[in-house]
Amino acid sequence: MWHTPRIVLLLTSGVIPVLVLFSKRRRAQNLDDFPTVGCSFGPSRCFSNFYVGASRFLVDAPGVLREGYEKYGNRPFKVATMLRWTIVFSDPKQTMEITDAAEEDLSFREAMKDIMGVDDTLEINADSPDHDLLAELLKSHIARNATKICGEVQDELLASLENVLGNESDADWTSIPALSTVNRIMMQTWQRFFVGYPLCRNSEWCSLVAKIHKDVSILSVIRRIVPSWTFRFFAKMASNLEANVNRATMLLGPVVEACISEVDEYAVPGQQKIDFLARLVKRSTGEDSLLKNLTTRLLGFTIAVASTPSNTLTHALYHLATNPDFAQTLRDEVDPIVQRDGWNVQSVANMRKIDSFLRESARINGVSSLGFFRQAMRDFSLSDGTFLPKDCFIAVSLPPFHRDSTAYEAPDEFRPFRFSDNPEHSMSTISPHWLFFGYGKHLCPGRFLLTHQLKVMFAYMVSAYDIRFGDEWTSRPPNFIFGEGVVPNLSAHVSYRRRQAR
């Protein structure tokens, strides 16, 4: 998607820097108390300083953050992104204080709405009384029905894997684009959770979801480099989002009508279903009672939750394809468990080497160099006196935590089984040195489901297939960096074949 003519035209257009110039002037804030990293001349409110820093951060965010940490240690500093100045923290005490701050002081919701841009891209009304309903329902739904949901997601995941990769015995190697293939499987799996069976296996629906995900990804790039008042114009040039959403709405309509017709069953406790969409329809009172708004919110949430597991699994596959000798150690764990207990929640939970491999890959790569985004809703001071002016954006640099030499031996080295002997260091376990799923009040509610999904997919691929890179890669392909985002190499292919009998 990064090489389409329309995107190249937009990214290289000479008009964009001019538009950004006027937009950023209106956003300028007095953050001179925080040292600047990424650019070294002029005051922070100077556009040239901002633009140089933003351009560098766009292509080398890990390097900029590393420079800031080396210069200032645990002191906060600021970096320029294409959207704004962002104050970056790396001190553990300050980080815990940020995670515990009240929403009316440091808002997670407002920061993520602006950073992810899904609401703007899909034209979702963030002021609707139902805006937070999906997230709230997700928390309670997973908490109450975790085992059954894991089973359904696992069933869909295994079906998706066999559908995409095939189950026939074939001695020939097949090459696939790794990230797009994993994303396709993950998207179908999450559709089982959000819209249920059989729509999740409808080929047109799955195709539309993939197209909408691609459209939103393209538009999120554009949104970072153009002022908000020009976004709609560029959006219509660069995507077919509106037409795809309208068609998806038509396909979802009959499913929603079926949920409405059965909604009275919820009045009888003994007959309650646990279907997520049915619960959402029952609880919706505002704009989400309208079909198109419901569709866009479901699509937006799917895109938001599916990107992290897709990137995480692809990172791990790249490590495995670079070091195929690791596969036998993993199979020595997976095969006896599956032969004895089959594929279920408890058997997958016992796959500690699989868990360790995924956690170590996520620790080394991550999906973002920054986390814990917040927007100051009013002037706010931390307990040490650090002053945060209203409307400023803050974030936490994650590498200092995940590569802390006091917590990890040889922290820059990929050691796939470093956590396998300690169940307290599982992927879903939270600690001050493991912030992949967040921390505090905004801790990811779906982390157990997501971990189970990742482990099932990775363990099944290890058990069923041989995986390697072709001759084009002699080492792990470099990650793609776009701002704080860390994405597995976009063009790399991996080769697989059905595991040969020994």
Contact 378, 281 (CB under 8 A): no
Distance CA 188, CA 181 (A): 11
CA distance 191 to 454: 16
Least confident of 197-206, 215-224, 380-389, 479-488: 215-224
Is the confidence at residue 125, as pLDDT, over 80?
no
What's 74's domain CATH number? 1.10.630.10
**Strand partners for 86:** 79, 393
pLDDT for 16 equals 46
The C-alpha atoms of residue 448 and residue 429 are separated, in whole angstroms, by: 9
Cβ contact 86:79 at 8 Å: yes
Which one has a higher pLDDT value, 124 or 385? Answer: 385
Looking at residues 203-220, what average pLDDT do you find? 84
CB 219 within 8 A of CB 10: no
The band of 43, judged by pLDDT with boundaries at 50, 70 and 90, is low
Confidence at 308, pLDDT banded by 50, 70, 90: confident
Q: What is the pTM of this model?
A: 0.86
Domain count, the chain: 1
Question: Which structural domain, as residue segments, surrounds residue 378?
Answer: 5-498
The beta strands (E) that lie in 417-463 are given as none
Query: Between the CA of residue 477 and those of 130, 178, 258, 324, what are the distances in Å?
Result: 42, 11, 47, 15
Ramachandran region, residue 285 (left: φ > 0; alpha: ψ -120 to 50; beta: rest): alpha
| Whole-angstrom distance, CA of residue 342 vs CA of residue 227 | 53
Closest CA to 312 of 345, 373, 360: 360
Strand order in the sheet with 85-89: 77-80, 85-89, 393-397, 370-376, 106-107
> Which two three-digit tokens encode residue 18?
């001019």
Distance of CA 235 to the CA centre of its chain: 22
Q: Alpha-carbon distance 199 to 254, whole Å?
A: 10
Q: Can you tell me the distance from the alpha carbon of 296 to that of 215, in angstroms, rounded to the nearest whole number? A: 13
CA distances 202 to 58, 191, 199, Å, are: 38, 10, 5
- pLDDT beyond 90 at 386: yes
Model confidence at 67, in pLDDT bands (50, 70, 90)?
Answer: very high
DSSP H helical ranges for 262-388: 276-283, 291-322, 326-341, 345-349, 352-365
Three-state secondary structure string covering 71-82: HHCCCCEEEECC
Q: What is the pLDDT of residues 172-195, one digit of tens each?
A: 889 999 998 998 888 888 888 888
